[in-house]
Structure 1
Amino acid sequence: MEKGFKKFLFLISFLSIIAFTLVACDNSEKTDGDKKADVPESKAAMDNYSVGDTFKAKEEFTIPMLYSDHPNYPYKKDWLLFEEIKKRTNVNLDMTIVPMSDYGQKRSLLISSGDAPYIIPKTYPGEEVPFVSSGTILPISDYVDFMPNYKEKVEKWEIEPFLEGLRQDDGKYYVLPGLHEDVWPDYSLAIRTDILDELGLEMPTTWDELETVLEKMKEAYPDVTPFSDRWEFKSTLGFAATSFGTTAGWGLGSALNYDKDKDEFVFGPATEGYKEMVSYFRELVEKGLLDKESMTQDDDQAQKKFVNGESFVLGTNSQTIVDYRKDMNDILGEDNFAIKKIVVPGGPAGQVMGGSKLENGIMLSSKVKDDPNFEAILQFVDWLWYSDEGQEFAKWGVEGVTYTKDENGKRTLTDDVNYVGLNPDGTKALNADFGFSGGNFAYGGTTDLLHSMFSEEEIEFQNAMAETKEVVLPDPPIRYDEMELEQSTLLSTPLKDFVDTATYEFILGDRDIAKWDDYVNELKNMGMQDYVDLANEVYKSQD
């Protein structure tokens, strides 16, 4: 019996060792950060760094960084931004300066050659994909446990559904995106509200109501084409498509739409929703309500028509509507017009809006993991780009120098500082003269921080969108491997090019909407079904 008991103990011990080994192996393969990862101890890293801590390296060190140089606020080595970063964090940034116009190409060359600096900002989700297979950029999701502010915001703001789209076929993601507390809609239509008042019309809330408004405008002003758009109509197609249950224009993406009921992907531009959308805009053109030149004119032409009173509706965002108003003040006189940003109209799919809580962010060169201060670099990135303190600093600057804050937390630029018209009398620019609110550092954050630099008008628009719209969550990811991605790209590129052309042809009347089935057959002949089948095969294999 004693021998049997010893055998039993030996068996238990052996099974325990196996279980421990399996658990250890499982932990080592986690893709969302693990402090047991092979990260060298850093003399500069803070001990017990956590949410709410101001990062300051225990010893001074330097981080190489790529910098996209904007022509409106060109890089200055002596900006207060860099002086304060050094003072607060004990970090020097060694910048590789690249003109904004050449940034994408130069970034690709540097990464491909293995010469990229450690920090690579101004990277939009999706732009990292070409570099994943080469191993030249860091699978940052392996190391997010070293970034407490980032992790806290992902959890608190329910970011994970949006991050899923960043994961590659290995389950990891390779770009740290900017994070917003809420979905942030920006693009919509500007409308002449003085014309609405003159004609006794209400602000439209649906696309059908907008058509009625345009008809009334045309009746009152027969020589005016009331809606003349900019951005080659792609912005309007982008935000309109969501309310028709599809994607288009700037939001076309892969052209694949997820059918939740069938748990599969379909080719969006071949659906009834897409047909209904192009039919709607075709009808506006037929009635003389939508300017045919909207698809071809440059932005200056479209804006000129609007500010001169030759059209009454034009695509806009939070910045361009300020430009329209300024030009109209000069041309029409301040008291002779009124314009407002429309809450994006609802459509057959309801009062919905697309969008994301992510925006451009940073990649890290894979070389950074071999730096003796790797942990400190992760802490620095976490503080500057993801902590409340770092985000406010990058956006507003130094309290008491570039801005003040009252007892209610309201931020105000100091008397001599201006930015986006917040303080028109200021003679110094927050970005050009101090380096703050620039595209390499200042993005993401709480809704309060985002709204802090909005006009009251824009805040009203944001609140109205939040109160009246249901957010359409992103589609599930399709994690292609390298060969599958290449095959998918070869199939999708001609399809999407054809869709862009055919969409304009339908809207302009050059392609008969009654021959929709012929259009779908053309897509099939170009490999649409092969593209969809590949996507669904990869998607189903992920289960």
Structure 2
Amino acid sequence: MFKKKLVPLTLAFVLMMTTLLACSSGGSDGTTSPSPSTTPGGSTTPAGKEEPLKLSIYYPDNATLPFKEDWLLIQEIEKRYNVDFSFEIIPLADYPTKVSLALNTGTNAPDVILNQMTVGENASLALNGALAPISDYAEWTPNWNARVEEFGLKEEVAKLNLKDGKRYSLPSLFDKPFYDGGLIMRQDLLKKHGLAAPKTFDDLYTALKTFKQENPDSYPLTILAGARVLYRMTMPSFGVSVGKNGASGTNTLSWDYEKKEYFPGAISDQYKQYMTYMAKLYKEGLIDPEMAEPIDGDKWAQKLATGKSFASYAYYDQIGGVEASATEPGFDLQMYPPLEGPDGAHHQPKSSTGSGILFPTKTSKRADFERIVRTIDEIFFSEEGATLAALGVEGQTYTMDGSTIKYPDDIVNAKEGIYKAMQLKYGLGADPLQLVWVNEREMTKYDENYRQINKVVAGMDQAIQSIPPSPLFDDMTAEEASSLQTPLFDTFQIWADAFLTGKKDLNADWDQYVKEMKNLQIEKFNQLYNDNMAK
């Protein structure tokens, strides 16, 4: 009996295995498929047979670095990590609004949002259920976790938790903040006019005034991308940081680094003093009136290259391109450390954590959410992924000579410099796509001059202050703060433009402005922030 039952079972088993092998066969040539392997999502499928992970992504497009879907970085990511990205390219100026609308509606949100932080309205939206609390899935982000440990950022990361104790973003990570942009001037013209390198804002005024006298049709100080760049790089020396790129993300509040509390910066004496300085530059024709609107990179470079402007606030990697376009003999641009103002010499605040990745709640409802998170973690935070985003493909965009990084001649000799050439041609070092920043590695993309400038800035007292901490709002308080923030910012922007251009007088009309901001409850807005700071 036993043997009679065994034979049919054995035959059945053989037939089953034969069928399985036939199904997995590569065809009549006798080849077989690879053995099964575990995918990032935990499922077991034949290696090489898994469908690409399809992801829709919001990407903020910067006029100085136009997005290209055929960038080497994008192609390599899709190939190496078996993903199929569908990018929605959104102008940088419109990006926060687009993100807000998507998260408010929920259904129109992409799978992944790049280059965002959970402050201001995003914090409110997170607490109201628009974002997935990524800290709940820590076991799915092993590479990000390892980077936090490596860079010693546990305390910094903890500050990103919201009122519910959860974190809703995978922020970019920096081992050290570095001075990547600031005041850029024609060093050759400083020497020509017998002027020393400026150290204070009074020195800057003198240099701009001198250039204007020699070139009456010029606007000595121009700005790359618009007023927001100028404001965020210079306001801190006056003890305030407000506006579209204000350090706190509130647009109208500033952080007191000594008292460790918020104050209504938009109506402060510090802001009034700052705008008085800028309005003087505008009135005397020392500042580019076109800065009210974003100035694209080509137009900006042309202004400096042709002598229409003498100085700018911009980024060091832009210098090479301008110098290559210049026709004057001896043309020499240089970047300088932060200038000293009434509050000291400070640049825009930076953190060891920055804008990063958000996952809308809709994404967390996908059956493959674990695969999504693990794949994103590997793409942006693994050693391979981080190196790819920073340097590209070994043998193509760089080589290693022992421990020394070498770049090919076409990149080294690019008129715009190594850093910018790698960005423009390959997408390498594009902020939304590079989320791990290692200072020593980044310095290899710059010249010795830049490395020395960074050493000087590192030796200055709090030249680069930290990003102000975020309050621990619950969802109701976050919603209340958000409802106050929008009208305050709208009014602030109108008055800021009027004060700068002289449409409103900073002395005669200041009280009216303050009254309007108080009527919009800026003091209550400020109190909400201070009352909800971590104790």
TM-score of the two chains, using structure 2 as the length reference: 0.75
The secondary structure found in structure 2 opposite 1:362 is: strand
Say whether 1:393 aligns with 2:402: no
**How far off its partner does 1:473 sit?**
1.8
Q: Which amino acid aligns with 2:175?
A: E
Show the counterpart of 1:364: 359
The secondary structure found in structure 2 opposite 1:499 is: helix
**How far off its partner does 1:260 sit?**
5.2
Say whether 1:44 aligns with 2:44: no
Say whether 1:504 aligns with 2:532: no
Structure 1 stretch 193-202 or stretch 477-486: which is displaced more? 477-486
Q: Which amino acid aligns with 1:187?
A: G
Say whether 1:245 aligns with 2:239: yes
Say whether 1:206 aligns with 2:200: yes
**How far off its partner does 1:190 sit?**
2.0
Q: Distance in 1 between matches of 2:185 and 2:397?
A: 35
Deviations along 1:155-185, one digit per CA (max 9) or x if unpaired, are 4434355545533221212111111112244
Say whether 1:63 aligns with 2:53: yes
Q: Which amino acid aligns with 2:498?
A: E
Show the counterpart of 1:307: 305
CA RMSD, Structure 1 to Structure 2 (Å): 4.0
The secondary structure found in structure 2 opposite 1:98 is: strand
The sequence identity of aligned pairs, in percent, is 26
Show the counterpart of 1:448: 440
Q: Which amino acid aligns with 1:476?
A: P
Q: Distance in 1 between matches of 2:230 and 2:288?
A: 13
Deviations along 1:63-85, one digit per CA (max 9) or x if unpaired, are 33224577652248997504751
Asked whether the 8 Å contact 1:161–1:474 carries over to 2, the reply is no
The secondary structure found in structure 2 opposite 1:189 is: strand
How do residues 101-140 of structure 1 correspond to structure 2 at under 5 angstroms? 101=91, 105=98, 109=102, 112-114=105-107, 119-126=112-119, 128-129=122-123, 131-133=125-127, 135=129, 137-140=131-134
Asked whether the 8 Å contact 1:79–1:433 carries over to 2, the reply is no
Structure 1 stretch 64-73 or stretch 442-451: which is displaced more? 64-73
The secondary structure found in structure 2 opposite 1:468 is: coil
Show the counterpart of 1:318: 316
Asked whether the 8 Å contact 1:233–1:295 carries over to 2, the reply is yes
Unaligned runs of 5+ in 2: 1-36
Alignment coverage as a number of residue pairs: 479
1:279 to 276, 280, 289: 276
Q: Distance in 1 between matches of 2:443 and 2:305?
A: 27
The secondary structure found in structure 2 opposite 1:314 is: strand
Deviations along 1:227-260, one digit per CA (max 9) or x if unpaired, are 2445442211111111111113443331222335
Unaligned runs of 5+ in 1: 1-41, 48-55, 86-90
Asked whether the 8 Å contact 2:181–2:314 carries over to 1, the reply is yes
The secondary structure found in structure 2 opposite 1:399 is: coil
1:81 to 60, 76, 88: 76
Asked whether the 8 Å contact 2:144–2:381 carries over to 1, the reply is yes
Asked whether the 8 Å contact 1:110–1:116 carries over to 2, the reply is yes
Q: Distance in 2 between matches of 1:317 and 1:100?
A: 22
Q: Which amino acid aligns with 2:467?
A: P
Show the counterpart of 2:253: 256
2:407 to 408, 412, 424: 412
Asked whether the 8 Å contact 2:221–2:286 carries over to 1, the reply is yes
Q: Distance in 2 between matches of 1:523 and 1:57?
A: 60
**How far off its partner does 1:404 sit?**
0.9
Asked whether the 8 Å contact 2:174–2:352 carries over to 1, the reply is yes
Distance 1:478 1:64, change over 3 A: same
1:490 to 476, 483, 492: 483
Distance 1:170 1:58, change over 3 A: farther
Deviations along 1:404-456, one digit per CA (max 9) or x if unpaired, are 111132232376999885579xxxx9678877656664332211232233344
Q: Distance in 2 between matches of 1:282 and 1:423?
A: 37
Asked whether the 8 Å contact 1:233–1:249 carries over to 2, the reply is no
Distance 1:286 1:356, change over 3 A: same
Q: Distance in 1 between matches of 2:300 and 2:41?
A: 54
Say whether 1:481 aligns with 2:471: no
Q: Distance in 1 between matches of 2:417 and 2:85?
A: 30
